[in-house]
Amino acid sequence: MLDCIINHLLFFGGSLALTMALVQFAQVLRDSKHLWLGIFFSCISYTGFQQYYFGVYGSPNLDLSRWPGQVVIFLLGPSIFFFYKKLFYHDFRIRPWHAIHFIPALISIGVDFIMYLSATSENTSLLYISGIITRYNIFYVLSGATIFISYDVYILFKEDFIFLIRRKNNNRVNRIALFYVVMVLMIGIMLFYAIVAGNVTLGRLVMTLMILPFLYIFLVGYLNPELISIFTSEVRKNAYERSLIKGLDVDVLKSRLKDLMEVDKIYCDEDLSLKRLADLLSLTPHQLSEFLNKYLDINFNYYINRYRIDEAVNLMQTQSERSITSICYSVGFNSKSAFYEAFTKFIGMSPARYRRTKSK
């Protein structure tokens, strides 16, 4: 009876997660954070449908090495991590070193491949390796659970959700943070217990519950968009209070930076760097970088290039006889390729096309 209920819950959870994934993918062009949340819900959906299939047509167990496609378990953590980064840090960009987050998923694909080949092969090496994987399957299972929970715990402590619970200025935000933290921790504890105890039924039940914390936040955001905005604002505010720029007069800093850019036009110096600009503001490079990220929602390169392109557009309009190459170097770019790339990014067309358009 219990297995039948769990099977229905798994099918319902898988269907719900699939629907939520499609909703997120439909919004990817508007904001790339939806891509990562879509991947997360897709992984939850796959796990739900897979466990439903094993529950109805097979023999449920906790032997992950015999479940095809377990790469999804190892994508849960990275996908929610990158969603969190895009949500709270507008200028966050995927860098080459972020590939390290996907190493466990790649290893999981390798495990799937080995298990698939060993099922139809008599190669002694393959059979030996698959035997080791099966024998130490408990560590495979634990690694998948540990990685996912580690990402959740990282986010909880990185943005100090416990601090949000203790704050008294917004009871609704407190309740959101508290409920989310409790759900994540309870699911993590139950999952570890199910794996260590070898309790298949509890393990499958926990898999039906994994979507709950994120479904909760999703529904709260859908029904009360302004509440999620307040929640996000509180998280960012808390980060500011613990930041490197705590104690600085932000308004004075903004004013001084504006003078340097708009009066002194320091961006026209092709040798301008984050360190040099920080020195002019009596800050460390880390402080200036954080100020730009936290208060202006942009990074150093974007900030400087925006001024350079605006100045280039102004020169092209007021000095039509001047060459594009001359304008490129006069506004601070040290190469034509960098200028063309930045100009196209901000204006939506190349400098030459822009000039032709304006000359008509």
Flag whether the pTM goes above 0.85.
Answer: no
> What domains can you pick out in the chain, each with its CATH number?
2-241 (1.20.1070), 250-359 (1.10.10.60)
Q: Which residue in 243, 262, 251 sits closest to 304, CA to CA?
A: 262
Higher-confidence position of 155 and 99: 99
pLDDT digits (tens, 9 = 90+) for 336-354: 999 999 999 999 999 989 8
Quote the pLDDT of residue 125: 82
Q: Which residue in 16, 21, 20, 14 sits closest to 53, CA to CA?
A: 14
Contacts 24+ apart (CB under 8 A), 267-271: 267/304, 267/307, 267/308, 267/311, 267/331, 267/332, 268/308, 268/311, 268/330, 268/331, 268/332, 269/332, 270/329, 270/332, 270/333, 270/334
Cα–Cα distance measured from residue 259 to residue 30, given in angstroms and rounded to the nearest whole number:
34
Q: Which residue in 267, 272, 236, 292 sits closest to 88, CA to CA?
A: 236
* Residue-averaged pLDDT of the chain: 79
Most confident of 4-18, 120-134, 320-334: 320-334
Contact, 155 vs 213, CB < 8 A? Answer: no
- Mean pLDDT throughout 46-60? 76
Quote the pLDDT of residue 328: 93
Residue 225 has pLDDT above 90, yes or no: no
What number of helices (H) and strands (E) belong to the chain? 18, 0
Q: Token pair of 111, please?
A: 């495990």
Cα–Cα distance measured from residue 260 to residue 265, given in angstroms and rounded to the nearest whole number:
6
Question: Confidence band (pLDDT; 50, 70, 90) for 209?
Answer: confident
Quote the pLDDT of residue 267: 93
Work out the number of other CB atoms within 10 angstroms of the CB of residue 343.
27
- Mean pLDDT throughout 235-252? 60
226, amino acid identity: E
Q: Token pair of 295, please?
A: 């208060």
Element (H, E) at 108: helix 103-120
Contacts of 192 by beta carbon, 8 Å cutoff, 6+ apart: 142, 145, 149
- Mean pLDDT throughout 99-110? 90
Quote the pLDDT of residue 326: 92
Cα–Cα distance measured from residue 312 to residue 326, given in angstroms and rounded to the nearest whole number:
10
Residue 103 has pLDDT above 90, yes or no: yes
Contact, 56 vs 88, CB < 8 A? Answer: no
DSSP three-state, residue 27: coil
